[in-house]
Structure 1
Amino acid sequence: MTYTPRAVAGMLGVAPTTLRTWDQRYGLGPSIRTDGGHRRYEDADVEVLRRMVVLTAQGVAAAAAAVLARQKPVAAPTGPRTPIGSAEALVAQHSFLTAAKRLDEPAMSGLASGLLSDHGVVSAWEAVFVPALVELGDLVVTSGQGVEIEHLASGSVLHALRGIPRAGGTGALSALLSCAPDEQHWLPLEALGAALSEEGCTWGNLGARVPAEALCDAVERLRPTVVLVWAHSTDLALRVPLEVLGTRSGALIAVAGAGWEGVPLPPSVRRPKSLTEAIAIVLNRVR
C-alpha cells in the first residue's frame, strides 16, 4: 500500500504543509516518488511519521524528534537476556552521563533503548538508569545548575521505556500504578510498567499528582488486581487513603518509594523495596 501526502496527513491529524516541512528539513519524506514527481508514502514511512507526531506532542524539539522517530522501538525479547555486569554498567553510566551533559537526547535514547533490548528493564534500570539519574539530581542540588540536563535525561529514559511493547488482553488490569497526591516523580512507575509488559502483564499508569479521590474513583472503576502508589516524601505518602483503596476494589494494595519509610501501614498493604520485588508482587497475585 502507498498513500498520498493528503491521505497521510489525514491519518496523522497534521497539515500537509507539516509533512512537507518534515521532508525538507529532516528527511522524513516518502520512499516513493512517481515518474511525475508525486510523493507516495509506504507503511514504514507512516510509522516513522507517527512516532514523530507523538514525540513532538510530548515537547521534544523537532530536530531531535526526527532522529528518535527513525529509531525502531525496542524489540520484544526473544530469549533470556543477561544482567549488566559491574564493569559494563560503569561504562554505560559514563556514556549516558556524557551524552546528557552534551544535551544529546538522541544519543541518550539510543543508549537507553540498546540497554533495554540487550539486558531487560530491571537490569538496565537498576544498574545504569538509577545511578546516572541520581548523579544528575545531586548535581542540581549541589550546584543549582543542570536542571535541563536532568530533564532531558529523564525524558530519554522515558522514551526508551515506552518503546517496550505493551501486553494485550482484555479484562481487569494486572496493575494500576499511581503517584500520591502532588507527587511529581513518576518515572519509577514507568519502569515498573515496562517491566510488567516484559512479563506479559497489562497495566495502567495514572501518572503524577493524582488527587486522593480521583485515585479512589479510578480504582473502583477499573478494579485492577494490584494497585501500587509511589511517594518519595512522607508528607505525600500520608495523603494516600490506603484503607479506602482496599475496601473500594478488593485489589491488593502496595506502596513504594522513600516516602513510605516509617509510615505505619495496614497489615494487608505490601511495600516492595525494589523493582524486582514489585514485579513479584504483581506476578504472584495474577498467577
Structure 2
Amino acid sequence: MTYTPRAVAGMLGIAPTTLRTWDQRYGLGPSVRTDGGHRRYEDADVEVLRRMLALTAQGVAASAAAVLARKQPVAPPDGERTPIGSTEALTAKQGFLGAAKRLDEPAMADIAAKLLAAHGVVAAWDAVFVPALVELGELVVTSGQGVEIEHLASGSVLHALRGIPRTTSPAPLSMLLSCAPDEQHWLPLEALGAALSEQDHRWGNLGARVPAEALCDAVARLCPRVVLIWAHRQDLALRVPLEELGTRSGAVVAVAGSGWEGVALPSFVRRPMSLTEAIGLVADR
C-alpha cells in the first residue's frame, strides 16, 4: 500500500509541514511518486518516520536521528537475552510514552516487541513497561484525562506479551493464574505467564473477575503445582478463599498485588514480590 502525506501525518500525529521538512533536510521522503508527480509513502517509509519520531522524542538531534532512523534495528540471535541498562531503559520508556501520547499503536507494539526480543519479559516488564504504565495511570488520576492513552498502551503491551510462544510440552501445569473475584486488572498475570513461557513452563490464566467457587473448582480439576491470585485492592483480596484452596489441593498457594498489603495471610500462603520470585515458586516445586 501507499499513503498520501496527509494520511501519514495523521498516522504519526505530526503536521504535514514536518514531513516536508524531514524530506527536504534529511531525505526521509516518500519512495514513490505518481505519474502526476504526487508523493506517496510506502510502509517501509512510514517505519523509518516512526523511528525518526521516537528518536527526536527522546531528545536526539534531528540530523543524528535521521541517520539512526534509516538503520534497520538488528535483533539478537534467537533466544539470546542481554541486560538492559538504566539509560537504555529510560530511552525506551520515553519512546513508548511518546508513542502512547500520540496514540501510535504500531510504534508502541514495535518498541514492546523489540524489548522482549532483546531483553526478555522480566527485564522489559520491570525496567520499561511498569514505569511507563504507572506514569500513564498517574496522568489519568491527576488530570482526569488520558484513559484512552492508558488503555491503548496496556493493549500494546498485552499484544507483545502474547507473542511469546507457549510451550507445547505435555508436562503437568506448572502454574494457574487468576484474578480475585471482581478484580479486573490482569495485565501483570499475562506478564508472569509470558515469563513462564520463556522458561518452557506450562501455565493457565483464568483471567479477570473469577468467582471464588470457580477458582476452587478449577484448581481441583487442573491440579497445578502453583496457584497464584492477583488483587490490587484489599477488599477484593479478602474475597479470595485461601483456606479452602489450601485444604482442597496440594498446590502451593501464592498471592500477588498491592491488595494483599496488610492482609493477614495463612502460614502456607506465599507472597512473591516480583516476577522473578513468582517464577521461583515453580522451581521450588
TM-score, normalised to structure 2, is 0.72
User: Partners of 2:247 and 2:220 in 1: how far apart?
Assistant: 9
Q: Give the CA deviation at 1:172.
A: 2.5
Matched, 1:113 2:113: yes
Structure 1 regions of 5+ residues with no counterpart?
A: 1-22, 26-66, 68-74
Partner residue in 1 for 2:153: 153
Counterpart position of 1:214 = 214
Match of 2:84 in 1: 84
SS in structure 1 of the partner of residue 103 of structure 2: coil
* Counterpart-to-counterpart distance in 1, 2:235 and 2:229: 14
Report the Cα distance in structure 2 between the residues aligned to 1:78 and 1:101, rounded to whole angstroms.
Answer: 31
Structure 2 Cα separation of the partners of residues 83 and 126 of structure 1: 12
Q: Which has the larger radius of gyration?
A: 2
Question: What does residue 174 of structure 2 align with?
Answer: 174
Q: Secondary structure at the match of 1:208?
A: coil
Aligned residue number for residue 262 of structure 1 = 262
The alignment's TM-score, normalised by the length of structure 1, stands at 0.72
d(CA) in 2 for partners of 1:168, 1:92? 32
Find the residue that maps to 2:239 and give its secondary structure.
coil
Residue equivalent to 1:272: 272
AA partner of residue 192 (structure 1): L
Task: Give 1:77 deviation, angstroms.
Answer: 7.5
Q: What SS does structure 2 have at the residue aligned with 1:183?
A: coil
Call closer, same or farther: CA 1:76–1:200 in 2, change over 3 Å: farther
| Equivalent pair of 1:76/1:164 in contact (CA under 8 Å) | no
Given the alignment of the two structures, is residue 230 of structure 1 paired with residue 198 of structure 2, yes or no?
A: no
Q: How many residues are paired up?
A: 215
Trace 1:44-123 onto structure 2 (pairs within 5 A).
78-123=78-123
Which amino acid in the other structure matches residue 139 of structure 1? L
After TM superposition, give the deviation of residue 282 of structure 1 in Å: 1.6
> By how many angstroms is 1:247 displaced?
1.6
* Aligned 8 A contact 2:178 2:228 in 1: yes
Match of residue 282 from structure 1: 282
**Structure 1 residues 273 and 253: CA distance shift in structure 2, 3 A:** same
CA distance in 2, matches of 1:103, 1:126: 23
Q: 1:77 to 1:120 in 2, by over 3 A?
A: farther
Displacement after TM superposition at 1:120 (Å): 0.2
For 2:243, the equivalent position in structure 1 comes to 243
Do structure 1's residue 162 and structure 2's residue 148 form an aligned pair? no
Aligned-pair distance for 1:216? 0.6
Q: C-alpha displacement at 1:78, in angstroms?
A: 3.8
Q: Could you tell me how far apart the structure 1 residues matched to 2:215 and 2:196 are?
A: 21
Equivalent residue number for residue 33 of structure 2:
none
Q: Please give the root-mean-square deviation of Cα atoms over the aligned residues, in Å.
A: 1.9
Runs of 4+ in structure 1 off by over 6 angstroms are: none
Give aligned-pair identity as a percent. Answer: 76
Q: Give, in whole Å, the separation in 2 of the partners of 1:135 and 1:119.
A: 22
Structure 2 alignment gaps of length 5 or more: 4-46, 48-74
Which one-letter code corresponds to 1:146 in the other structure? Answer: G
